[in-house]
């Protein structure tokens, strides 16, 4: 009887938790709905009208970033005591999606500052480091960047050739970091460098480096296919000296810090991809109602309807996966597989939906008079940065195989 009672109690708790989880996936909490609507309104009024021009001119949206900082969006998860909004990762995901719907470049700038820069400092920094390296980066006046990739390693994050050696009370960094988003506009970077080659990936450490700084220079801004309003370049370290106290976490923890940061960051990129996909679907559906052919709106054509249906299914499926990943992280449950699934599904949905949007628009989808071509260009990077689709499939497969070994 005791065993039966325990089983019933466990089942009741499971049902209760499951119902709450499903309800949250079906209908967001009121505070999250308010945040989502606020970001949507801002994106429609302040981002969408200028997104094309920002993209064309490669212009960093400094004014908008400051305004988003005032709204708390540049530091969603950071506690209020440090100047942030003190909300959770689901809130962060919603904000990035809605902002990316208006301007994907602004979306990635927000994502990098939140998850790749502030995230690791919040998780691994000392109280003193948090005061120095988090609080000034919550208002939008300053943004940070994340320097892990190198010209020769790409997806092999453990093969860092950038070196850090200790000299007296300083670290001396030498090497080149590649594809660093925000770097031309950043005031600080989380930099990964090898402190002990013999330990391979366990010999990588993470450092906080102010920008600009002696010994640190930037390569040329990359002329990119998409997200052109965000800066991307090499970060070059030549005898760059920083205090010993700028070590983030413990010596040798860099690889762990990097991988944990990317796990969370993938929720941000999935959310960016959702925003791009939603904008592309919005564009296609609106055009289908307005464009007439054969004496009627093309929205009445089954071929167009099937495209819109497939686009909507891909988008909504990816959105639910992304919300689930964010909720698992907020619940402090294992979320690596979920974030990889979300990032894979959302990025591939963005590419698919934006491609189909151009098909719906026909020739008008191929010119800059309409935003469809920009959505298509912006979508492509979401399958590459913060882990390619191929890497996501490896992460998912490894997790699935482990589950079947237990």
Q: Are 233 and 184 in contact (CB under 8 A)?
A: yes
**Burial, 38: exposed, middle or buried (Cβ in 10 Å; 0-12, 13-18, 19+)?**
middle
- CA angle centred on 384, ends 275 and 329, rounded to 5°: 60
Strand partners, 177: 235
Q: Are 179 and 150 in contact (CB under 8 A)?
A: no
CA atoms within 13 A on the CB side of 86: 5
Task: Name the CA radius of gyration of the chain, rounded.
Answer: 22
Neighbour tally for 345: CB within 10 Å: 23
What single-letter DSSP state applies at residue 220? Answer: P
Strand partners, 181: 232
Is the Cα dihedral 285, 286, 291, 294 positive or negative?
Answer: positive
First to last CA, the chain: 29
97, 98, 150, 386: the catalytic one is 386
State yes or no: is 238 an active-site residue: no
Q: Known catalytic residues?
A: 386
């Amino acid at each position: 009887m005791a065993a039966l009672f325990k089983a019933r109690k466990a089942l009741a708790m499971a049902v209760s938790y499951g119902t709450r989880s499903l309800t949250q996936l079906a209908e967001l909490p009121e505070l999250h709905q308010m945040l989502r609507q606020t970001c949507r309104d801002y994106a429609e009024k302040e981002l969408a009208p200028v997104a094309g021009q920002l993209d064309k001119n490669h212009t960093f949206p400094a004014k908008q970033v400051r305004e988003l900082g005032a709204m708390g969006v540049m530091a969603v998860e950071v506690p209020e005591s440090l100047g942030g909004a003190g909300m959770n990762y689901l809130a962060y995901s919603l904000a990035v999606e809605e902002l990316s719907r208006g301007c994907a470049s602004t979306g990635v700038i927000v994502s990098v500052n939140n998850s790749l820069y502030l995230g690791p400092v919040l998780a691994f920094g000392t109280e003193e480091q948090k005061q120095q390296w988090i609080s000034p980066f919550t208002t939008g006046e300053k943004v940070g960047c994340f320097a892990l990739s190198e010209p020769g390693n790409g997806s092999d994050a453990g093969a860092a050739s950038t070196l850090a050696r200790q000299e007296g009370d300083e670290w001396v960094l030498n090497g080149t970091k590649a594809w660093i988003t925000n770097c031309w506009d950043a005031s600080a970077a989380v930099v990964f460098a090898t402190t002990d080659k013999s330990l391979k990936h366990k010999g990588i450490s993470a450092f906080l480096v102010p920008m600009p700084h002696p010994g640190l220079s930037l390569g040329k801004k990359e002329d990119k296919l998409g997200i052109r309003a965000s800066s991307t370049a090499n970060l070059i370290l030549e005898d760059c000296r920083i205090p010993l106290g700028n070590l983030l976490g413990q010596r040798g923890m860099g690889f762990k810090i990097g991988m944990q940061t990317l796990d969370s960051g993938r929720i941000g990129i999935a959310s960016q991809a959702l925003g791009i996909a939603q904008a592309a679907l919005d564009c296609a559906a609106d055009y289908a109602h307005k464009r007439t052919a054969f004496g009627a709106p093309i929205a009445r054509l089954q071929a167009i309807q099937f495209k819109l249906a497939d686009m909507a299914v891909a988008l909504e499926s990816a959105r639910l996966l992304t919300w689930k990943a964010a909720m698992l992280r907020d619940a402090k449950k294992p979320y690596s597989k979920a974030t990889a699934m979300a990032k894979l599904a959302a990025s591939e949905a963005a590419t698919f939906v934006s491609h189909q949007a151009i098909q719906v628009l026909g020739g008008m989808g191929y010119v800059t008079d309409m935003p469809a071509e920009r959505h298509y260009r912006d979508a492509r990077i979401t399958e590459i940065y913060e882990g390619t689709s191929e890497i996501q499939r490896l992460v998912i497969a490894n997790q699935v195989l482990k589950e079947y070994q237990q």
